[in-house]
């Protein structure tokens, strides 16, 4: 199972950023999202399509429909600049699958 993400997304501070994750019938899977800043371990920001772990701001939300899942970051801040990865469990192979990652640049 392959997850496809755009290599980069740019957004101005205060605007909304959308990071997409494409996969065949991805809506049938639960999608999870991580961000990773340089030199740090990844951090889970959204799980099960649209749930947030404690401590993650409400500005982070997710959706999943058809062949595309989307991470939405509202009111983007400079501190949101990071690499973002989507992830699913592929039940047909018992494999965890990560997308290739998207670098979010805050202009």
Which of these, 89, 90, 99, lies nearest to 9 by C-alpha position?
A: 99
Helix (H, G, I), strand (E, B) or coil at 27: helix
- Token pair belonging to 31: 């999608």
Among the listed residues 42, 59, 63, 72, the single contact to another protein using CB under 8 A: 42
- d(Cα 31, Cα 36) in Å, to the nearest integer? 17
> Binding to another protein by residue 60, rule CB under 8 A?
no
104 vs 7: CA distance, rounded Å: 9
- Considering only residues 68-107, where is the footprint of another protein by CB under 8 A? 83, 85, 87, 89, 91, 93-101
Applying CB under 8 A, among 32, 60, 104, 106 the residue interacting with another protein is 32
Binding site for another protein (CB under 8 A): 30, 32, 34, 36, 41-44, 47-48, 53, 83, 85, 87, 89, 91, 93-101
């Amino acid at each position: 199972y392959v997850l496809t993400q755009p290599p980069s997304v740019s957004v101005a501070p205060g605007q909304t950023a959308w990071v997409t994750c494409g996969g065949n019938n991805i809506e049938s899977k639960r999608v999870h999202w991580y961000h990773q800043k340089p030199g740090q371990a990844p951090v889970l920001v959204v799980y099960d399509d649209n749930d947030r772990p404690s401590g993650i701001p409400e500005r982070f939300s997710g959706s999943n429909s058809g062949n595309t899942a989307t991470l939405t970051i509202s009111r983007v801040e400079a501190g949101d600049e990071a690499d973002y990865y989507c992830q699913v469990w592929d039940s047909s192979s018992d494999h965890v699958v990560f997308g290739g990652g998207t670098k979010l640049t805050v202009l």
